[in-house]
Chains A and B, each alone.
Chain A
Amino acid sequence: MPKKKAKDRQDNTEGTISRRSVLKIGAAAGAATVVAPHLLGNGTALGFTGEPPAEPAVRCVNTVPATPSPAHRPFIDNFAAPFPAIPTFLSPTPQEFQNSGAGEAPRAPHQRWAQFPMDVTYEMDAKAGLHKFHADYGDTYIWGFNGKYPAPTVLNVYGHPTGVRFRNSLPAVTTTFGRNEMTIHLHNGHHGSESDGFAGDFFATGFWKDHLYPNCYAGLDAFGGNGDTKEKMGSFWFHDHRAEFTLNNNVLGMNGMFLVYDPTDPGHELPIGPSLRLPGYYGITDFPIILTDKRFCATDPVSGRTEMVNAAGGDKWVINGKIQPKLTVRRRKYRFRFLNTGPTQTYDITLIKPDGSVGTMTVIATDANFLQNPLPVDAGAGAGNSNSTTAPIVPGAIRVSVAERYDVVIDFGAFEHGSKLYLRENRPMFVGNPSPDPLPGTLAIENVLMQFNVVNREWWFPPDTPAIPATLCTYPTLPATDNTWEWQFVLAGGRFRVKRPFDAGLGCVFDPDHSAHCILRGTTEEWLINNNIASGWLHPVHIHFEEFRTLKRFVNGVEVPVPPLHSGRKDVTRMEAGQGALIKMQFRDYNGRYLIHCHNMGHEDNFMMVRWDICPDLASLNACLADQQVCQLEMEAKERFREEMA
């Protein structure tokens, strides 16, 4: 096994080189001027930190009806990728067992510790900071990793295990709407439960916890070495998962991107090895688009701050921390990684061409996984990725519900120097100012997410990449199914619940101390996930730990073809009203507690979430089954009482 591992590492050295070359090219590209201020700011990542900013002096509360945020001028701020996280040495050194003496929060020992010695380590210090969401705004008080929103992006390479120390330096006493306890989930890493940010494992200010991210492919037990390379993933993100306060803490800013490269997707565009040569220089030709919505109070004349309102349901669409930014793009292909960090909204995003018509976005990855064949989404044949009957999708749009990721390639090569393109979101935001540029067709400024300014490629800018390969990857073959199971995401008795096949009553609510489903390690299950309600709720259902394949989709119980953008490997399955999905997933390589939940953060905080366990052996499985969450019995007892009283 050690030999295989050495080979894996060799394969992956390309990735390492590529990252350096990205930085080199970045510098050569003159991007250094853009990068430098961020670099200085990122000194906080290294621990050169000042006093955290004071909490908002003036309360910014939600009013009924809601007051609009302050007006802003469109296309003032530049769109940029969050700065890459800088590796740091950790002191004390990370260890297999919890280091209670040094203030580590409780956790189980790291699984596969000897197999995955950390090659690189980061510190993510969750603390208060200030962020400017728009040039017309004052600073806004946020909670972010290393005081930043969005958090620094972790750029990793398969085969190089990573340690991340999540430190809780949030204010011990806070007047904000956040909860100063945290547990950080890497969505959707294949790693031990102790590094998974289980919703009940939150820890208080002053403590820290080391997560071991092996950056391995799933299939360690069966394939040995670093797993099955067909299980490759790319666009991960990490965020706070504190039960009941996930929404609050994420609105305050506790999330960021985490990209993992492999030889086919190495983070560069050079013809080396098996690289697919997709647009790949992070921050230059490959950008995350981190979506969230916020509402702000008027800038306080005393402090000069523009604080955010303490609730979901904003009237400003924020991407990568900026409102309606602009990006200068060269006439070539770019990769954008859409990520919806919620907390609750779903986006229908279209590309609007200079003539006002809908442009083509070629989807290459759904959630963190390449599609086997890239899928161009436009107003024609590939229109949309939703078969919802209650909320029909805009033609040519990509629907992104909370926590979903879609990696798309946009080719600006066909557009003239000086032309402008726009990303359009179907719901209007509040702008308060006219567009500085005439908008194409019927596009309203209120619907614009961001603006692309197309220019000719300068001599120093990386040349265009070749056409997107017709085949991006081959999916692994799924083994035979060992067990079938059903989860219904229901609104029963006015409450959000998750119901199992045998729950005759109302179903389960989140109980961190009990598992709702026990699974033997190494098995494969088919899960029927259902949203059988007509109330119109949309549930983006997320399953931790491994990617699943969608076998069937249903609308109101009737099987319908799987929409192309649901056909790939995913970790969030969007359940619109009345929809269902039959998914298949493997449970292997690690033991422990994981979650399935609705990723609408308002719903998960209302306990539309249950725990499931992977048990290492039969004895452990039987113990798990004996202590399985007894939503039904508990309910039945109470129902019986209710009948007696009636």
Chain B
Amino acid sequence: MDRRSLLTKVFEPHPASPGALRYTNAVLRTQNNEAVKFYDDLIRGKQCVINFMYAECHGSCPAVTQTLKTIYRTLKDRMGNDLFFYSITIKPENDTPTALKHYATTRNADLPGWYFLTGDAYDLKTIRYRLFNMDHPGLDADEALHSGYLRLINDARNSWGMAQAFASNKNILNRIAWQDPPKTYAENVVAYRKVQEKIMQDVKKYGYRRDI
């Protein structure tokens, strides 16, 4: 859980990444009260899952946190190495680093590679717009609407994805996998062979490819 794991490893961004221009380099604070630059320290060259929440939220935020905790278990080996979770508050006026620390620890979510972030209200709003902009004034202004949404980023691949926090965990894991670093041809050959075996079993048993 130390900041070193985040900062010492060299992460190479994709040459086409819009970088701080899109993500901003706003200085945020983690639940451990460490100052981090949003793009340089958190996004640059990394793969991450971002959601918005606030500590006092009794609606969907705890449910999303619970979902993230569940998928964290599956992704444990990668967490903090090449995959990170960022839960960003939408109520920085209440959510100090201490409050977020309390939120994380009481939910057993204070885990390596998972950062709860707060900062300047204007910065956080900017970040929220940059990440979740739907080009719809009504929707974009409504903070609550972003709570069910996970933004998936792999800056090393300059790739953006999305998952709905209320979809099945398998569905979310699948979406995160779509952001993984590209496989080599040889890796794909092996992976496709497995898929093909399953297809042929399905066709024999059910009459068509099911992929279930």
Contact = CB atoms under 8 A, between A and B. Distances in A.
Interface in B173-203: 174-175, 178, 182-183, 185, 188-189, 192-193, 195-196, 199, 202-203
Q: Identify whether the interface residues of A are mostly helix, strand, loop, or mixed.
A: loop
A61 B18 contact: yes
B193 A107 contact: no
Interface in B28-62: 58-60, 62
A243 B148 CA distance: 20
Nearest to A642: B63
B212 interface: yes
A98 interface: yes
Contact of A641 (B63, B135, B170, B206): B63
B208 A592 contact: yes
Contacts of B196: 98, 100, 106-107
A109 interface: yes
Interface stretch (B92-100, B113-121, B156-164): B156-164
A631 B199 CA distance: 24
Contacts of A646: 58-59
Interface stretch (A76-84, A464-472, A611-619): A611-619
A395 interface: no
A107 B16 CA distance: 33
Contacts of B24: none
A206 B185 contact: yes
Contact of B209 (A193, A203, A506): A193
Contacts of A100: 189, 192-193, 196
A593 B203 CA distance: 12
B178 A244 contact: yes
A108 B199 contact: yes
B71 interface: no
A206 B189 CA distance: 10
Interface residues of A, number: 65
B89 to A, nearest CB: 17
Contacts of B74: none
Given A494-B142, A616-B207, A206 B164 contact: no
A514 B212 contact: yes
Contact of A616 (B18, B166, B189, B208): B208
A606 B159 CA distance: 15
B66 A638 contact: yes
B59 A634 contact: no
A591 interface: yes
A620 interface: yes
B192 A207 contact: yes
Contacts of B15: 175
Contacts of A497: 164
Interface in A631-646: 631, 634-635, 638-639, 641-642, 645-646
Contacts of B135: 313
Contacts of B18: 59, 61
B128 interface: no
Contacts of B10: none
Query: How many B residues are at the interface, by size bracket?
Result: 35 or more
Contacts of B16: 59, 175-177
Interface in B89-134: none
A45 B21 CA distance: 40
Given A204-B188, A494-B139, A494-B146, A108 B209 contact: yes
Interface in A70-104: 98, 100
B149 interface: yes
B168 A620 contact: no
A642 B185 contact: no
Contacts of B144: 494
Contact of A592 (B149, B161, B209): B209
Nearest to A644: B62
Given A494-B145, A646-B59, A193 B208 contact: yes
B116 to A, nearest CB: 17
Contacts of B170: 513
A620 B199 contact: no
B171 interface: yes
A99 B177 CA distance: 26
A606 B162 contact: yes
B208 A613 contact: yes
Contacts of A207: 188, 192
Contacts of B14: 175
Given A61-B18, A172-B182, A204-B182, A642 B62 contact: yes
Nearest to B207: A616
A106 B193 CA distance: 7
A177 B158 CA distance: 8
Contacts of A205: 185
B164 A107 contact: no
A511 B67 contact: no
A109 B203 contact: yes
Given A108-B209, A109-B203, 11 more contacts: A107-B196, A108-B199, A172-B185, A176-B16, A180-B182, A205-B185, A207-B188, A613-B208, A620-B206, A624-B210, A641-B62
Interface of A: 59, 61, 98, 100, 105-109, 172-173, 175-177, 179-180, 193-194, 200, 203-207, 243-244, 313, 491, 493-495, 497, 506, 509, 511-515, 535, 591-593, 606-607, 613-617, 619-620, 623-624, 627, 630-631, 634-635, 638-639, 641-642, 645-646
The 7 A-B pairs at the shortest CB distance, nearest first, are namely: A494-B145, A616-B207, A175-B16, A645-B62, A591-B208, A642-B63, A106-B195
21 contacts: A98-B196, A108-B208, A175-B15, A177-B16, A194-B209, A203-B192, A244-B161, A491-B139, A494-B142, A494-B148, A495-B149, A509-B167, A513-B212, A593-B208, A613-B210, A615-B206, A616-B207, A616-B208, A623-B206, A627-B210, A634-B167
Interface of B: 14-16, 18, 21-22, 58-60, 62-63, 66-67, 135-136, 138-139, 142, 144-149, 158-159, 161-162, 164, 166-168, 170-171, 174-175, 178, 182-183, 185, 188-189, 192-193, 195-196, 199, 202-203, 205-212
